[in-house]
Amino acid sequence: MKKKSYLLGEIATILGAKLTGNPERLIDGVASLDSAKEGQVSFLGGARYQLIKSSRHEKFLSTTQASAVLVSPLHAKACPVDKLIIEDPHSAYLTLAKLFEKQFKKVPGIHPTAVIGSGCEISATASIGPYCVIGENCRIGENTSINSHAVIKDNVSIGKDVLIASHVVLYHDVLIGDRVVIHAGAIIGKEGFGMVRSGTGWEKIPHLGTVILEDDVEIGCNTTIDRGALDNTLLKKGVKLDNQIQVGHGVVIGENTIIAGCTGIAGSTRIGKNCMIGGAVAINDNITICDNVIFTAMAGVSKSITQPGIYSSGTGIQPQKDWHRSIACLRKLAKKAKKMENKQYE
Amino acid sequence: MKKKSYLLGEIATILGAKLTGNPERLIDGVASLDSAKEGQVSFLGGARYQLIKSSRHEKFLSTTQASAVLVSPLHAKACPVDKLIIEDPHSAYLTLAKLFEKQFKKVPGIHPTAVIGSGCEISATASIGPYCVIGENCRIGENTSINSHAVIKDNVSIGKDVLIASHVVLYHDVLIGDRVVIHAGAIIGKEGFGMVRSGTGWEKIPHLGTVILEDDVEIGCNTTIDRGALDNTLLKKGVKLDNQIQVGHGVVIGENTIIAGCTGIAGSTRIGKNCMIGGAVAINDNITICDNVIFTAMAGVSKSITQPGIYSSGTGIQPQKDWHRSIACLRKLAKKAKKMENKQYE
Amino acid sequence: MKKKSYLLGEIATILGAKLTGNPERLIDGVASLDSAKEGQVSFLGGARYQLIKSSRHEKFLSTTQASAVLVSPLHAKACPVDKLIIEDPHSAYLTLAKLFEKQFKKVPGIHPTAVIGSGCEISATASIGPYCVIGENCRIGENTSINSHAVIKDNVSIGKDVLIASHVVLYHDVLIGDRVVIHAGAIIGKEGFGMVRSGTGWEKIPHLGTVILEDDVEIGCNTTIDRGALDNTLLKKGVKLDNQIQVGHGVVIGENTIIAGCTGIAGSTRIGKNCMIGGAVAINDNITICDNVIFTAMAGVSKSITQPGIYSSGTGIQPQKDWHRSIACLRKLAKKAKKMENKQYE
């Protein structure tokens, strides 16, 4: 059971920070500089990929109502309240925040309303919530939680310390590693959107592959991942997907690649490891993205990328009148180019 | 209980319209000009932000099969059937449509299959549907409906006259005001997508904030709203979100801002009040959008906006050949610019 | 009951292929050239809209571990293992893959946990899964499967041989034809996002239409389709939608049009038949797209299209530095254009 409050002196010791202020002060939470109240600790970051950009928050330092602030030596003098001085306030904040994070009790066992198929192997330490429906021959590992209304079809295998949140659907034969987190509403393993023309209509290609999520993968809310047609859809160790991402059939994503919300990846594309893909990116089918690529938000990726680096597309936001002019100029240039092409044949 | 049909004369009185035609005619529905049949009233709009653009529908006036049409004095002469003449046919249509809108009976009480945690305060006039799962210490107000399969975790507070549709998930500690509508499949309050590098992988930042939806907020189907890392994610009074929108951790949206489907808003961004945000817009993290801003569909918003107005991005749609030329020209210009930059250092 | 393995000679006969190799070889699956193992058949495609692009896979032919490969006469000589020679290896693969596709047993009948309203007509050959909630006066046809947790509201009509997957929600009065497939998490028939200004806020327009899905329509996971305000939202025979697509109120989509994931279509737009719409496309409201139009991925369609053909938008992906230069040039052009406009009034 976690403590609900700490003395400021205790916190300084836990973080290894130098305290200038009252060590007996009672601290019961954390907050940002501009919203913090008495009893709360705030922080002013300094690292590059930080949670809260310091440029935006520095102005709140002088008027903060926090009882204490985590600051770098650089900002210590400007801090008007008790201070915890440390080289990397951002990392220290993460440690501090974990002290105040809520813990949810997990009750092992199978809720009486869960419907479980024959031939399942479910660890005695796993927890299956109300109204879960689990098919035949599934395997669920130690300390894994399956929350209410999750649907798990036949022959699914789930490792240990996994969280399957409410309303998740795992289709047949999906393989889930250890410490995987799948948030509410995500749907994994539907047959892919592979169609061929058939007379006047479309016929669905059989999808014989499955979806494999390796250890430490995280999948956001309402994200969808389709199974492969021939080979498997594969998310390697440590891949992190945000909400409302669509991953097409047969896609492979390399280790520790992280993808922000609303991005779509079309079928059979391969993405390298340690990539960072911004939100609302659209990635074409059947292309290859090498390791260590960064796509900025809303990039439209139509071709393979073979060199690590940062890539972008789009026109940037403009007042509508200026934008109309920009677009008109672009079209005039294209018309001129067309005329020149035509001249070559005269 | 609503009536299923009205006399045309009754309708004229209800709307305050001048009737030219048979007041005894029986009317049992409404429809658009080109699809209306006998017994139905149609309309030809005139207002600016109207439901049906009149330019498109005017051509159907002369051949309409409607029993009567709501028209402005401007179009009265051209109307070949009974007419209800009124200054603003569009507003009058809204009043008329409400007469024919279906009412669903709401049965107060808790369905015997609902699973309710300890310590909940549920109004006797609230309705909890089949297979709902509600955690501990939740509060549900008067006349609020929670539809089948909704999942509500611990310590959630919901006001009065709220509709929580089927398959909605509300994570712990979420706060919902009065008259809020949350449509099917929306997921509110998951921890945000805030990660920091940790050795070779990624570590999740603790998310200590929650999500607050103030009075009269509406949330579309399968929309996802994450909780804040430090401060709360906050949608102020009257905000309306369409389907499949993603709202990142710590985002604040001002009063009566309306956002169309498939838009994504990255973490910690603040949007002003009375903004109108088109569909499929992508808005960057940690930026600020002032009041009364309009973004057209598919705008990519990478930076803060400080002046009210209309903003756009993108190239507009072109036949593919012309588009290839436009893009080639854009790249040539960039190459020329690069050469000139390089020349400065020669 | 399907066979689990076939002799290579049997397969040659089924496909009508010319076999060069051992007809007694036992085959128990299919796989791509680079992942196939002993006992599996692979293929090297040749058709235009093929499942696996041959340019990418040809290099794997010489080292494949497959027991046999489906090849066109063109590639027969280069194939190092047993070969099934046929004019269109891609079509033959589809036939072959169906031999190995899993069949799921469907148990007719209503699961005891399903909640069914009064006045429903449910075929004796239909299957209703655990925890389904079905409203009043619904009609469900022969051999139709409704999977676990599906929610079907009052007066919904569903044809025969339909699949409604888990967690699907069908709102009141929705009409579903024969052989329709609706994948998990799709939500059909919510009132549309039609609002009018009302004092300081927004008022919802009554939505009196419904959603009609004609025969052979397919709807992907977490896709949302809103009901019409006045007329119906209508997807005609054979329309195929991928995952996470948003279809606004009153949209009409013509026969056999196919739409890839993450695309959004705003209200009252009409799309013709036999269109192919790429992923992440955004289509404006109240416009008309003619038959046989192709939109490439991420196209922003702001206006009606009256000529069949291929249409695109966007700038294409660039290294970020080059992209910055392109955008800067575009803005300079716009500024120059503005100056010239202003000069006209001097």
Place of tokens 């260590």: A292
Task: Identify which of B206, B231, B244 has the shortest CB distance to residue A98.
Answer: B206
Burial C161-171 (b: 16+ CB within 10 A, else e): bbbbbbbbbbb
Q: Give yes or no: B249 in active site.
A: yes
The C-alpha angle A180, A159, B117, rounded to 5 degrees, equals 70
Tell whether B56 is within 8 A of chain C (Cβ): yes
Task: Please give the pLDDT value at position A165.
Answer: 98
**B319 to chain C: which residues are within 8 Å by CB?**
309-311
Q: Give the chain A residue nearest C275 (alpha carbons).
A: A201
Which DSSP symbol is given to A301? E
Percent of chain B predicted with pLDDT > 90? 75
Residue of B nearest to C250 (CA): B52
C-alpha to C-alpha distance for B207 and B216, rounded to whole angstroms: 26
Specify the amino acid at residue B292.
N
Q: Which residues of B touch A296 (CB under 8 A)?
A: 302
Residues on chain C touching A149 (C-beta within 8 angstroms): 131, 149, 167
Backbone angles phi, psi at B169, to 5 degrees: -120, 125
Query: Is residue A44's pLDDT more than 90?
Result: no
Three-class SS of residue A14? helix
Chains B and C form CB pairs within 8 A to the count of 211
Euclidean distance between CA atoms B250 and B8, whole angstroms: 52
- Write the pLDDT tens digit of every residue in C126-147: 999 999 999 999 999 999 999 9
From A56, A221, A333, residue closest to B187, measured CB to CB? A221
Q: What is the mean pLDDT of chain B?
A: 92
Cβ pair C261:A193 closer than 8 A: yes
Burial of A308 per CB tally in 10 Å (0-12, 13-18, 19+): middle
Contact B262 C266 (CB under 8 A): no
Q: How far is the C-alpha of C143 from the C-alpha of C157, rounded, in Å? A: 14
B2 pLDDT band, cuts 50/70/90, is low
What pLDDT, in 10s, does the model give residues C249-261? 999 999 999 999 9
Q: Tell which A residues from 119 to 148 touch B, by Cβ distance under 8 Å.
A: 129-131, 147-148
- Of residues A118 and C54, which shows the higher confidence score? A118
Confirm whether the ipTM is greater than 0.90: yes
> Which residue in the block uniquely carries the two structure tokens 């920091």?
B196
Find out whether B39 and B24 touch, Cβ atoms under 8 Å: no
Of chain B residues 192-251, which have a CB less than 8 A from chain C? Answer: 216, 218, 220-222, 237-238, 240, 242-244
Cα first-last separation, chain B: 84
Average pLDDT for A67-89? 92
Length of chain C: 346
How does residue C189 score in pLDDT terms, banded at 50, 70 and 90? very high
* B222 Ramachandran zone, left/alpha/beta (phi>0; psi -120 to 50): left
CA C309 – CA C331 distance, rounded (Å): 30
Identity of residue A122: I
CA-CA distance, A80 to C97, in Å (whole number)?
Answer: 71
Q: B104 CA to chain C: closest CA distance, Å?
A: 9
The minimal CB distance from B243 to the residues C203, C205, C224 is found for C224
SS3 of A62, please?
A: helix
Contact state of B330 with C309 under an 8 Å Cβ cutoff: no
Write B151-156 long-range contacts (CB < 8 A, 24+). Answer: B151/A147, B151/A148, B151/A149, B151/A166, B151/A167, B151/A184, B153/B189, B154/A104, B154/B117
Prediction pTM value:
0.93
Partner residue facing A282 (CB), from C167, C183, C280: C280
CB contact under 8 A, C195 and B129: no
**Tokens 């940690």 sit on residue:** B286
Coil, strand or helix at B253: strand
Q: Provide the percentage of residues in chain B whose pLDDT is more than 70.
A: 95
Percent of chain C with pLDDT over 90: 75
Q: For residue A50, is pLDDT > 80?
A: no
**Torsion sign over Cα C88, C89, C94, C96:** positive
pLDDT over threshold 90, residue B174: yes
Of B103-112, C67-76, C109-118, minimum mean pLDDT range: B103-112
Confidence of residue A88 (pLDDT cuts 50, 70, 90): confident
Q: What Cα–Cα distance (Å) separates residue B248 from each residue in B63, B219, B283, B284, B286?
A: 50, 14, 10, 10, 10
Report the alpha-carbon distance of residue A178 to residue A214 in Å, rounded: 7
C52 pLDDT band, cuts 50/70/90, is very low
What pLDDT, in 10s, does the model give residues A169-198?
999 999 999 999 999 999 999 999 988 888
Gap between the Cα atoms of B106 and B133, Å rounded: 19
Instruction: Determine the distance from the C-alpha atom of residue B246 to the mean position of all C-alpha atoms in its chain, rounded to a whole number.
Output: 13
Q: Which of B75, B111, B249, B324 is catalytic?
A: B249
In contact, B321 and C311? CB cutoff 8 Å: no
Does the pLDDT value for residue C326 go beyond 80?
Answer: yes
- Find the range with the poorest average confidence among A3-7, A282-286, C15-19: A3-7
What residues of C are annotated to the active site? 249
DSSP assignment, residue C29?
E
The pLDDT score that the predictor gives to residue C103 is: 77
Measured CA to CA in angstroms, residue A186 lies from B279, C174, C245 at distances of 22, 25, 15
Can you tell me which residue has the tokens 């406009």?
C341
Residue carrying the six token digits 């416009």: C287
C30-40: pLDDT as tens digits: 988 888 999 99
Note the pLDDT of residue C345: 61
At A47, the pLDDT band (50, 70, 90 cuts) reads very low
The per-residue pLDDT for range B195-224, each reduced to its tens digit, is: 888 887 898 889 999 999 999 999 999 999
What's the number of CA atoms in the CB half-sphere (13 Å) around residue B288? 5
